[in-house]
Amino acid sequence: MASQATYDDANLILKLYELRREEKMRAARDWFGGEFFPQSLEDFNVVRKPGSKENVYFRMVTSYWDMAASFVTSGVLDADLFLQSGGEMLFIWAKMGDFVEELRQNLGSAQYLANIQKVIDMVPGAADRVTSTKKMIERMRQDMAKSANG
């Protein structure tokens, strides 16, 4: 039986939305969404240099969404309501999910982005949304490549 979202859930969703609007977080989200299109594990090298803009942005976006997902996995936030308003987390996973196991091994952290993965695994239809989002991301990447080539 599905749980019923509460006013507290809605207030937490609004707070999460407000945090996403912070100036540096917005810049990080813009970079992740519009410039970072990993196609292999090597594409993550751009984010490995500590202190670089890309490293900071990458960590901000991924840790934010894993933190938000932890509210769901711990039972603090209704999962269905979260995904109704949190499609960006699915976008993040669509870009990274295929590489997470290797990243976990490279980082020595078996729990890296585990909350995001748990939410996707527990909410019916979330994995299907990730699959369709991957297709959209591939079209975006191709369009950017065309624009860059003239």
pLDDT tens column, 68-104: 999 999 999 999 999 998 799 999 999 999 999 999 9
- Which residues contact residue 106 at a Cβ distance below 8 angstroms, ignoring those fewer than 6 apart? 41
What's the rounded Cα separation, in Å, for the pair 141 and 113?
23
What's the rounded Cα separation, in Å, for the pair 60 and 116?
14
Q: Closest Cα to residue 92, out of 145, 128, 137?
A: 137
Any idea what DSSP says for residue 5?
P
Three-state secondary structure call for residue 48: coil
pLDDT per position as a tens digit, 132-145: 999 999 999 888 88
Q: What is the pTM for the complete model shown?
A: 0.91
